[in-house]
A and B are shown apart, each in its own frame.
Chain A
Amino acid sequence: DVKVTQSSRYLVKRTGEKVFLECVQDMDHENMFWYRQDPGLGLRLIYFSYDVKMKEKGDIPEGYSVSREKKERFSLILESASTNQTSMYLCASSIPGQNNSPLHFGNGTRLTVT
């Protein structure tokens, strides 16, 4: 069965800390995505990657960076966490080149920045 695993369900960090959110998928998918989910705003794309070492900015990349050193792992980095980055973060993966290919999501990481 398909599996996308996010390393932490809940994280509490202090303002200014560097934060790493890890995501691993076991489906050999080329595409991986990081979204943030906020009430009333749906999902907003932060970054995505089509292949190892490849990354593209999404709609709200400011304050974030990503790393994809291996196909199965896609990390989201908050260089200096701020309170407005308190949110639910969702990782997803999909098969490339198919517009009807569904996204497979992890269970999310709820990050609180104090």
Chain B
Amino acid sequence: AQSVTQLGSHVSVSEGALVLLRCNYSSSVPPYLFWYVQYPNQGLQLLLKYTSAATLVKGINGFEAEFKKSETSFHLTKPSAHMSDAAEYFCAVSDQSNYQLIWGAGTKLIIKP
């Protein structure tokens, strides 16, 4: 069965510092991988997705994620955090046999001024 683990329910970084949000997955087949972001009092929106075209995926708002098959990871990074990045981030995986997503528990990103 597929699963997704996000390390750290809360991550705190200073404004301007590197953002690293970790996501590890388990899947018996090549997965599709997603990062979604949820700003306060809003629904989720797609940040980026991996669909086997390229291992480094660029998303909106300067975020990117790298698919590492050997590590079964899909960590989200941003070189320099902004206050507006404060939100909750969700990693999700689906396999190619069905299109239901399996979700991580989410990581709240806190930006310190």
Contacts and interface: CB of A to CB of B under 8 A. Distances in A.
A98 B104 contact: no
B42 A108 contact: yes
Contacts of B95: 99
Contacts of B49: 100, 102
Contacts, number: 56
A20 B34 CA distance: 30
* Binding site secondary structure of chain B: loop
Interface size class of B (residues with CB under 8 A): 20 to 34
A42 B43 contact: no
B45 A99 contact: no
Interface in A44-100: 44-45, 48, 58, 90, 92, 94, 97-100
B99 A99 contact: yes
Nearest to A31: B99
Given A42-B105, A45-B100, A102 B43 contact: no
B105 to A, nearest CB: 4
A15 to B, nearest CB: 26
B106 A105 contact: no
A52 to B, nearest CB: 18
Nearest to A106: B43
A108 to B, nearest CB: 5
A95 B74 CA distance: 24
A36 B106 CA distance: 13
B51 interface: yes
A41 B46 CA distance: 19
25 contacts: A9-B41, A31-B99, A40-B106, A41-B105, A42-B4, A42-B103, A42-B105, A43-B101, A43-B103, A44-B103, A45-B101, A48-B100, A92-B44, A94-B99, A98-B99, A99-B51, A99-B95, A99-B96, A100-B51, A102-B46, A102-B49, A103-B46, A107-B42, A107-B43, A108-B43
